[in-house]
Amino acid sequence: MNYDKIDKKARKILQENDRGLYTVPTKGLYPYQWNWDSAFAAWGFSTHDPRRAWAEIETLFTGQWDNGMVPHIVFHKQAIGYFPGPDIWNVERVPHTSGITQPPIAATMARAVYEADKHYGRVHMELMYGRLVSWHRWFVKYRLHEGMVVITHPWESGRDNAVDWDAALANVDGSNVGEYHRRDIDHVDPAMRPKKEDYDRYLALVQFNRDCGYDEDHIRDHGPFRVADVGMTFLFLRACRDLLHIAVELDHGVDEIEGWIKTLKQGVERHWNPERGHYDSVDVRTGAFTNSLSSASFLCWFAGIKDDRMLAHYDRIVGQVDFGIPSNDPEDPHFSHLRYWRGPVWGMVNALIGIGLAETGHTVHAERLRKQTQKLIAEHGFWEYFSPLDGAPAGGPQFTWTAAIWLTWASPHAKGRF
Which amino acid is it at 7?
D
160 as an active site residue: the answer is yes
Encode 257-270 in three state secondary structure.
Answer: HHHHHHHHHHHHHH
Distance CA 265, CA 281 (A): 15
Q: Is residue 284 classed as helix, strand or coil in its secondary structure? A: coil
Distance CA 309, CA 378 (A): 32
Residue 150 near residue 226, CB atoms below 8 Å = yes
- The Cβ of residue 110 has, within 10 Å, a number of other Cβ atoms equal to 30
Q: Which run of H or E residues covers position 145?
A: strand 144-145
Residue of 7, 200, 229, 384 with catalytic role: 384
Closest CA to 325 of 281, 303, 361, 355: 355
Distance CA 42, CA 57 (A): 7
Residue 70, phi-psi category: left (phi > 0), alpha (psi -120 to 50), beta (remainder): beta
217 as an active site residue: the answer is no
Residue of 7, 18, 56, 160 with catalytic role: 160
Which amino acid is it at 279?
Y
Backbone angles phi, psi at 150, to 5 degrees: -100, 140
- The Cβ of residue 212 has, within 10 Å, a number of other Cβ atoms equal to 14
Residue 348 near residue 404, CB atoms below 8 Å = yes
Which amino acid is it at 64?
Q
Cis bond upstream, residue 326 (ω within 30): no
Residue 38 near residue 105, CB atoms below 8 Å = no
Distance CA 151, CA 209 (A): 12
Sign of CA dihedral 116, 118, 122, 125: positive
Q: Which residues are catalytic?
A: 160, 384
